[in-house]
Structure 1
């Protein structure tokens, strides 16, 4: 689908007629739609009202300045200056070309009013401050720089452009594409909001600081010693598993580590600690794994270890985010947060 881009060529009228016609001619030869002041000379507010819609339809705005500021509107600005401000307001890319040294211009090529010369110099300064200017000396120099600037802008920042009616898509297709674009934008917003939102869990599901009583049995010298329950919050259980889940240890190893942790907390520095052992009931450990999976913090996968298949745990994206939520250093906090510690 071939696009043609519309260029609005603006300048003061009489003193730049030759340069403007040459620029329009050269741009038109390259397949662009060049709109100039020959179609409408902006010298009063009524014609400005006609020019504004033309600028609205423009992809790129060219401003050529030499030695005149232009005819003044009632507000004291020239109509050329007002065109430029309107193009900037509409977000249309502006390319300004200033005559290099106005002090070298002949008599009659510049305004003869001190007030107009002052306005011209301020306008040139305004354009230069926007870093959208280039300087020219001859008509050939001007034409070459305009073409180069527009071609570069089309490559870097293609405008909307115009296409032939027989090449345009059906209106219904446009509507479907627009609806799809809006849906994509909504989904992107939802993803962004989801990424920025704190991790949460179903209100009716035990999680976070809620306690879970883990049923255990201890052994002394190889004999069953005591049946007991050990309370841990779900945050404490999850944080205990972190270092082991990061390296995807087998589930039976993780179960053994938790059992040893519980026996250490239960019996402390008892003289019989070396002979004490504890075991989680299998259904308890299965419940813990099921709960953490349901909360979306881990996933259990089967891996072939070379000596058979074993169940391993690994963190989910939600689990990683929740670790940060529990342990991240907050702004204006002098110390790192203390992760939840298992209760004795």
Structure 2
């Protein structure tokens, strides 16, 4: 059995949650998790927290009875870390005190506006997340973590980290399964033709239509929107091309497209919600993502480039695609004038 480890980012309101944070971290370590997080926040620490969230497998929000210290924007650091984790589509689990009002007065925010923000943030977590669990004591918290974290692994499986000496076990199993598959295909005589070979090539100015979902925030509330969007293949190559300059795991097709939709989706959201001020959790239709990948392969813009040390399939843009990207033919003001001659 492989010895896997998972990295968990812990977000709390601050030092008043130190007893709970210590129990949480100790319990996670005992279960085989690596725990990260920051107790003291400053504007300079925000970038560091985001890098930790980028690298983690799961995010734990630990909420007591305080909204916590605020950033210069007026949004709490814990709230900002939550929003960033949502935009990065990290699996999130929330442990919150069942009765915040019963906690000691010193553990509450002093200002009425912060107490109001705490209540709003608590309701937001309960509304947006499926994995929310309450506790009353440190013992309750420990038991909740021990019971629910293994279920997170089942519901939201991730790659995790495997000890280097165990990677050979994975590779041997992959090789064995490949050989078995080839044997079965040969015996059945039903070796399938690569589906992308039947695709016609597309020109740069042609549109590709797809659907995606996202959360749009307006007047303190959010709504899940289903958006129909069109992009030219020139625009899609411009978005994805820079990500695959070097051999990059296949999962970055969805990560980059969802990041792009999070970055640009506010304009789409305002078609339905004119006062929307933020969007998050953009997620592109998985069939559309597969179509984009196959079409870019058919157009000879990307090629498979082996596997990394975690045995993930790698993709890389071709010299042909790099030439297009470097020629300024992907500029928005020239896309419709360009006629593909490749």
TM-score (norm 1): 0.48
Which has the higher relative contact order, 1 or 2, with Cα contacts under 8 A spaced 6 or more apart?
2
Between structure 1 and structure 2, the one with the greater Rg is: 1
TM-score (norm 2): 0.49
